[in-house]
């Protein structure tokens, strides 16, 4: 009897061993690389990874993350190798174009078409930042805008009004200075990208869009328009109101000074609204970058380009599913609630959205033109000269003419390299 039972048992075990592999799915590894080691985003993505693994138990993740600048450097290296992560974050416009030029980023037109029901929730204008040639190479995740935030209490106390033109803006800064605010505006110029955010908007406001389109193209860029000098001069004027510490602090410190009421105005991204609110400071409003009286660019353009996700050319099917999982209405809503930054999904807003955030969201949607960050809009060598040049202007060791001479030289080399 015992032998019979033992035989049946053995038979079951043998059968199970033989049949089990047919049912078990082969393990799939997804390499995911993002640029948000800071909270609450890191925990948010960690939770998403865990939830996705519960849905797809055969998937194993290798997640890596580094901050902003190191991310730019690391992804540039990775994209030139076969070690490119399967799914990774990317800025739009020229940054995306550079990554795509490696030939290792997956073209997603078909993916969008196959998943039309999922894609209909995404704002089409934000997808444009990931178009290269006839193809689409990314899915936008976050959207943003940049504006001057001001301390409402200070403005109300002194009867000040947000300016409409740059002349009014300078007059306002003078007024604040006369009222005892030694640093009426602040920026963390130690962060070179902060310089590029200023210059990108200034050039867009001043220059003829046709000139900008020609210059921002590496094959045709000359940068000879006098508007650039004027723009750099205006930037230098603004830095004079920031005091000597601007080049010794980062943007986060400038934001904290604003939150502490030490400076009345700061140029900030809408993504930072929640960060300000977390400090307990809520008495602020914002105004778009003022128009230059004789500027040729659209004064209603809003600086701020989307950031999104890309897939490697060899990404497994599961990475595509993970991409859809991240950029889904429910998960994006959780993201907005946790982080505060707006996303490229229609009407993806928490019910209890505050007044300032709602106004910011509406400004993003209503702006006539998306102005990309300068370091995303032009070739990185040109952007770097502008960023370093901006810092040098702030510390008084160079002139706008010298900066433009360097830019023109680099543009000539770039033209030569691109057209060869």
Partner 1 sequence: MVRFKKRYNLAPYLFILPALLMLAVFIYYPIIQNFIYSFFRFSAFSPTKTFVGLDNFKNLLEDSVVRTGLVNNVRYAVISVIFQVFGGLVVAAILEDKLLRRVAPLLRVIYFMPVVISISVICFLFTFVYHPTVGLLNKFLELIGLKSLAKPWLGLPNTAPFAVIAVSQWQSIGYIMLLFVVAIQKIPQELMEAAEIDGAGRFRRFFSVTLPQVKETLFVTTLITVTGAFLVFNEPYILTRGGGPGTSSITLAVHMYLSGFFRDNMGYASTIAIVIFLITGVLGVLQATLFRTGKDE
> Smaller CB distance to partner 1: residue 343 or 382?
382
Which residue's structure tokens are 């993201």? Answer: 335
Q: How far is the CB of 153 from partner 1 (least distance, A)?
A: 21
Q: How far is the CB of 257 from partner 1 (least distance, A)?
A: 8
Q: How far is the CB of 190 from partner 1 (least distance, A)?
A: 5
Interacting residues with partner 1 (CB under 8 A): 69, 72-73, 76-77, 79-80, 98-99, 101-103, 189-192, 244-250, 253, 257, 380-381, 384, 388-389, 391-392, 394-395, 397-398, 417, 420
User: Exposed, middle or buried: residue 362 (CB in 10 Å: 0-12, 13-18, 19+)?
Assistant: exposed
Q: Answer yes or no: are the C-beta atoms of 201 and 367 closer than 8 Å.
A: no
> Smaller CB distance to partner 1: residue 163 or 188?
188
Q: How far is the CB of 387 from partner 1 (least distance, A)?
A: 9
| Cα distance between residue 384 and residue 390, in whole Å | 10
- Neighbouring C-beta atoms of residue 17, cutoff 10 Å: 9
> Smaller CB distance to partner 1: residue 158 or 409?
409
> Smaller CB distance to partner 1: residue 105 or 343?
105
Q: How far is the CB of 135 from partner 1 (least distance, A)?
A: 16
Token pair of 5 as six digits: 């039972």
Q: How far is the CB of 162 from partner 1 (least distance, A)?
A: 27
How far CA 1 is from CA of 4, 6, 7, 13, 384, in Å, comes to 5, 9, 10, 18, 84
Name the CA radius of gyration of the chain, rounded.
25
> Smaller CB distance to partner 1: residue 248 or 358?
248
Burial 263-288 (b: 16+ CB within 10 A, else e): bbbbbbbbbbbbbbbeeebeebbbbb
Token pair of 173 as six digits: 């800064």
> Smaller CB distance to partner 1: residue 166 or 391?
391
**Beta-bridge mates of residue 190:** none
């Amino acid at each position: 009897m015992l032998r019979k039972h033992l035989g049946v048992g053995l038979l079951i075990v043998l059968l199970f061993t033989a049949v089990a592999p047919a049912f078990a799915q082969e393990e799939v590894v997804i390499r995911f690389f993002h640029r948000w080691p800071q909270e609450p985003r890191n925990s948010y993505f960690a939770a998403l990874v865990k939830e996705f693994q519960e849905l797809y138990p055969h998937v194993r993740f290798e997640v890596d993350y580094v901050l902003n600048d190191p991310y730019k450097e690391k992804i540039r290296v990775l994209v030139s190798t076969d070690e490119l992560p399967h799914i990774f974050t990317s800025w739009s416009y020229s940054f995306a174009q550079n990554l795509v030029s490696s030939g290792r980023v997956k073209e997603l037109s078909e993916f969008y078409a196959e998943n039309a029901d999922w894609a209909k929730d995404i704002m089409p204008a934000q997808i444009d930042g990931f178009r290269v040639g006839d193809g689409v190479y990314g899915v936008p995740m976050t959207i943003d805008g940049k504006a001057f935030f001001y301390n409402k209490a200070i403005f109300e106390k002194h009867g000040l009004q947000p300016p409409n033109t740059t002349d009014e803006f300078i007059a306002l800064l003078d007024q604040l200075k006369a009222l005892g605010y030694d640093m009426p505006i602040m920026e963390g110029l130690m962060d070179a990208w902060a310089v590029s955010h200023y210059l990108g908007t200034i050039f867009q406001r001043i220059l003829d869009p046709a000139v900008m389109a020609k210059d921002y193209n590496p094959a045709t860029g000359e940068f000879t328009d006098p508007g650039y000098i004027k723009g750099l001069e205006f930037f230098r004027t603004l830095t004079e109101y920031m005091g000597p510490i601007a080049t010794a602090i980062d943007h986060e410190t400038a934001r904290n000074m604003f939150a502490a009421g030490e400076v009345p105005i700061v140029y900030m991204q809408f993504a930072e609204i929640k960060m300000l609110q977390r400090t307990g400071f809520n008495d602020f409003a914002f105004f778009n970058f003022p128009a230059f009286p004789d500027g040729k660019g659209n004064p209603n353009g809003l600086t701020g380009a989307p950031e999104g996700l890309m897939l490697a050319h060899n990404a497994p099917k599961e990475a595509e599913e993970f991409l859809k999982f991240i950029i889904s209405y429910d998960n994006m809503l959780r993201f907005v609630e946790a982080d505060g930054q707006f996303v490229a999904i229609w009407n993806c807003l928490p019910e209890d959205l505050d007044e300032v955030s709602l106004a910011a969201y509406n400004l993003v949607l209503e702006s006539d033109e998306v102005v990309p960050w300068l370091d995303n809009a032009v070739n990185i060598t040109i952007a770097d000269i502008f960023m370093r040049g901006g810092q040098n202007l702030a510390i008084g060791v160079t002139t706008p003419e010298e900066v433009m001479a360097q830019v023109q030289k680099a543009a000539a080399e770039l033209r030569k390299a691109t057209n060869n």
